[in-house]
Chain A
Amino acid sequence: MPLTIYDLMKEKGSYLPGSAACPGCGATLAFRIASRVLGPNTVYVVPASCFSVIQSPFPKSAVGAPLYNIAFPAAAATASGVWRAFKTLNKEVNVVVWAGDGGTVDIGLQALSGAAERGENIIYVCYDNEAYMNTGIQRSGATPPYALTKTTPTGKREPSKDMPLIVAAHRVPYVATASVGYPFDLAKKFEKAKRIKGFKYIHIFSPCPPGWDYPVEKTAEIGKLAVDTYFWPLYEIENGKLKITLKPRRKPLKEFIRLQGRFRKMSDEEIAELEKMVVERWKFLEHLEKSERIF
Chain B
Amino acid sequence: MSSVEGDIIIPVSKPSPGSAGDTGLWRVFKPVVHEDRCIKCWLCWLYCPEEVISEGENGFPEINYSYCKGCGVCADVCPKDAIEMVPD
| Closest beta carbon of chain B to A27's beta carbon, Å | 8
Determine if B76 and A60 form an interchain contact, defined as CB atoms under 8 angstroms apart: no
The answer to whether A20 and B19 touch (CB under 8 A), given A5-B42, A218-B76, is yes
The answer to whether A23 and B69 touch (CB under 8 A), given A218-B76, A220-B76, is yes
- Chain A contacts with B in 41-63, Cβ cutoff 8 A: 55-63
- Chain A contacts with B in 13-57, Cβ cutoff 8 A: 13, 15-21, 23-26, 28-29, 32-33, 55-57
| Closest beta carbon of chain A to B80's beta carbon, Å | 15
Determine if A57 and B26 form an interchain contact, defined as CB atoms under 8 angstroms apart: no
Q: Does A9 contact B (CB under 8 A)?
A: yes
Q: Does A183 contact B (CB under 8 A)?
A: yes
Interface of B toward A, CB cutoff 8 Å? 11, 13-24, 26, 41-43, 45-52, 55, 64, 66-67, 69-73, 75-77, 85
Question: Assuming A24-B71, A220-B47, what are 4 further A-B pairs, CB within 8 angstroms?
Answer: A16-B15, A59-B13, A63-B15, A217-B71
| Closest beta carbon of chain B to A199's beta carbon, Å | 28
The answer to whether A58 and B22 touch (CB under 8 A), given A9-B42, A18-B17, A25-B49, is no
Which residue of B17, B24, B42, B73 is within 8 Å of A24 (Cβ)?
Answer: B73
Nearest A residue (CB) for B49: A29
Query: Within 8 Å CB of B76, what residues of A?
Result: 217-218, 220-221
Query: Within 8 Å CB of A65, what residues of B?
Result: 15
Query: Within 8 Å CB of B70, what residues of A?
Result: 23
Show 11 A/B contacts (Cβ-Cβ < 8 Å), sorted by A. Answer: A5-B45, A9-B55, A15-B51, A18-B67, A19-B19, A23-B26, A33-B46, A56-B13, A61-B13, A218-B76, A219-B49
Q: Does A64 contact B (CB under 8 A)?
A: yes
Determine if A60 and B18 form an interchain contact, defined as CB atoms under 8 angstroms apart: yes
A interface size (C-beta, 8 A): 39
Query: Within 8 Å CB of B11, what residues of A?
Result: 58
Q: Does A216 contact B (CB under 8 A)?
A: yes
The number of residue pairs between A and B whose CB atoms lie closer than 8 Å in the complex comes to 120
Q: Does A8 contact B (CB under 8 A)?
A: yes
Nearest B residue (CB) for A223: B47
Determine if A17 and B17 form an interchain contact, defined as CB atoms under 8 angstroms apart: yes
Q: How far is the CA of A193 from the CA of B43 in the complex (A)?
A: 25
| Closest beta carbon of chain A to B61's beta carbon, Å | 11
| Closest beta carbon of chain A to B78's beta carbon, Å | 11
Determine if A61 and B15 form an interchain contact, defined as CB atoms under 8 angstroms apart: yes
Query: Within 8 Å CB of B46, what residues of A?
Result: 5, 8, 33, 183
Nearest B residue (CB) for A16: B17
Which residue of A17, A24, A60, A218 is within 8 Å of B51 (Cβ)?
Answer: A17
Q: How far is the CA of A56 from the CA of B20 in the complex (A)?
A: 9
Determine if A16 and B71 form an interchain contact, defined as CB atoms under 8 angstroms apart: no
| Closest beta carbon of chain B to A68's beta carbon, Å | 10
Q: How far is the CA of A221 from the CA of B73 in the complex (A)?
A: 9
Determine if B20 and A19 form an interchain contact, defined as CB atoms under 8 angstroms apart: yes
The answer to whether A18 and B13 touch (CB under 8 A), given A5-B46, A217-B75, is no
Query: Within 8 Å CB of B85, what residues of A?
Result: 217
Determine if B72 and A216 form an interchain contact, defined as CB atoms under 8 angstroms apart: yes
A-B interface, 4 closest residue pairs, ranked by CB to CB distance from nearest: A217-B72, A18-B18, A61-B13, A24-B71
